[in-house]
Amino acid sequence: MKRILCVLLVLVVALSVCVFGANAAEAYEYTDKYGITYYYAFYEENGSTKALIGYCKYDKAAPFTLTFPSKLGGYPVGAIADECFRGHKMLEGVKFPDSLEYIGEEAFYGAPLKSVTIPKNVSYIGLNAFGNVESYNVASQNKYYKSMDGLLCSKDGKYLINYPLGRKDTSYTVPEGIEYIVEDAFTEAKNLKKLTLPESLIGVGEGAVNYTTLDTLYIGKNVEYIGENAFSGNGYLKNVTIHPEAMPYIDRTAFGYPSIKYDGDVGYIGHIVICIANNNAGELKNVTIKEGMKVICPYAFESCYELTLSLPASATHIPMEAFEGKNIREIKVSGDNPYYASVDGALYTNDKKTLLVFPAKEADSYKLADTTEAIYSGAFKRDVKIHNLVIPESVEVLYDGAFSGVDATIIKFEGIPEYVGEKIFTDCYAVKDVVLPDGCAVFGIEDFRGTGFIDAKNGNYLTSGSVMLGYKKSSLTYVNVFNTFTAVGRKAFYGERDLVQVTISDNVVAIGDFAFANCPKLKEVYIPATVDEIGRGAFGFNVTFDEETGAITSFENVEGFVIKGYTNSMAESYADANGFEFISVGYMEPESTLLGDIDCDGKLTVRDATALQKYVAGMVGLNTQDKINADFNEDGKINVRDATAIQKRIAKIS
């Protein structure tokens, strides 16, 4: 949302020249019959040549209205450069040609314009383009902007782009329907004393209302985001009311003195904790947030050291950035809080299953609580100094960057998580060893980039016990997963462009996601019968990822890829799921021949019906015996009727 609010609108007109003379080979001048001289240059846009007005000179002793030419040098006027008419005191009116598409930042700032009409083709208007204008009008045919009560708004009426700074109102209520107030929309509105923002408002952009004489502000209940310095530059703003049901994410710099009130060392506005008093934040040992406070701003405690923080039952909306202070030693939570709980000084969700914030702690060895099932992003992003950090078997989910910044020498996993996000160990420079259970394939070498773990391991292979995590160098042609290994980690050999052969021993039970993806010369692989877990895209795929988000942007089979393995094995299921040719090298006794038992646990359960539905939907594959088991109604077909029949049998309907 912040990105949306900090940008006015998508710039549709892609100009080669946004400031006069930049990238222009030559500048020209033209003097019209009224003695007005235009200095201009040309630019190309979508294959058309257009004129950019960079400066204008005239000798006028009285205020006048400037009618712009529709063409200069024989080409349509498409743009007015930044600051082109800034401070032109005689310019009280302008008439633009329909060809105009771009108006630069502060183009008419300081000119005493009463009103302006934005023509139909303008698709970009820079910040503070019109300075002290009193009202905006927009041609009805314009696809990008419209006027609402004299305001400049987006065409859909959701974005308030500019409040006319010359408007005489001392009190103003923004129209309902406005959802976002963008960057600098009200900046330098000198006449405003009271501003009411509508219930429809969702977000307020960076510096949106600054350097005004505002003293009273109301913010509606649906606001979700208030950006950096949104209201901080208003030295008279002392009466701020935020609807008590509003639970916004507020940047710590959004408000300044005298907007913030203090209760002891805690600065707040209404039900929202903004900050800790800076004059002694570094000396505070205990801070108690009073009952009634519902929202805490990000970075509220950043300047605190050696702090014990007590949260009330009412504190229900807390961004994890609130705890960026490196030395928060303990977090206490009221037992009546419906969303949060404290476990040994750490912040958890109320059910004590998800670790949100681990406080600054020093210990030789420490094991997380056995109630822990998930570790949230950045949970250890404080001064956590633990030699041996133990992650219990109960932990099933690790979110992106779960251990980011932790100062631990050894991290030991007692179990294998079901889900592991991206960049789990980012900035873990002190980590020298990660102890993983046998068969763990959810981690790979990419998870340890930038950690001491890679450098601490001798040889070119990165390993943890019996888990092969990857190869430190590139240009491999052959990989031998020999019999001391039980698993190959995710992306372990991803992108090895020269890899042509892989040998996997009979001790291996798991192969991680994308372990051998993007290996274009690898055309065939034998997967032993012992392997009962093969991750997504492990073999036979070319995959690309978005570098910022980690999302898959393309996922394509390697043409002609062949999998060899045993009938009834996971290798056969993987080949079936992905449309690869499967060559059987032998017969493997099935784990279960029970009709309907898809997951081969010897029982008929809801999991079997779910697995069958996934197969029918093309989400998973089945081996030979699985397909026999899947035909529950024995009609020679595998379809949703079989899944329904299994569910009825479980429910004893038939």
pLDDT, mean of each 10-residue run, the chain (654 residues):
33 35 64 93 92 92 93 96 92 95 94 94 92 93 97 96 94 97 93 97 96 96 96 94 96 91 92 82 82 93 84 94 80 97 96 94 93 95 88 96 90 96 88 94 90 84 94 87 94 94 96 95 96 95 84 89 96 95 95 89 89 88 91 91 88 70
3-state SS assignment for residue 571: helix
pLDDT score for 1? 36
Locate all alpha helices (DSSP H) within 238-278, ordered by sequence: none
Among residues 462, 461, 469, the alpha carbon closest in space to that of 440 is found at: 469
pLDDT score for 473? 77
> How far is Cα 396 from Cα 59, in angstroms, rounded to an integer?
76
Of all helices (H) and strands (E), which one includes residue 628?
A: helix 624-630
Among residues 78, 77, 59, the alpha carbon closest in space to that of 69 is found at: 77
Length in residues, the chain: 654
pLDDT score for 5? 32
pLDDT score for 654? 53
| Sequential DSSP letters for 456-498 | HS-SSEEEETTEEEEESSS---EEEE-TT-SEE-TTTTTT-TT
Domains and CATH numbers, the chain: 1-155 (3.80.10), 168-259 (3.80.10.10), 465-587 (3.80.10), 606-650 (no CATH)
Residue that has been written with the tokens 């393995």 in this structure = 565
Distance in angstroms between the alpha carbons of the first and the last residue of the chain: 53
Sequence-ordered list of residues with C-beta below 8 angstroms from that of 156, at least 6 positions apart, any chain: none
CB atoms < 10 A from the CB of 149, how many? Answer: 14
Provide the whole-model pTM. Answer: 0.80
What are the Cα distances from residue 302, in Å, to 248, 280, 289? 19, 12, 15
Q: What is the CA radius of gyration of the chain?
A: 32
What are the Cα distances from residue 516, in Å, to 182, 220, 261, 506, 572? 47, 53, 58, 18, 17
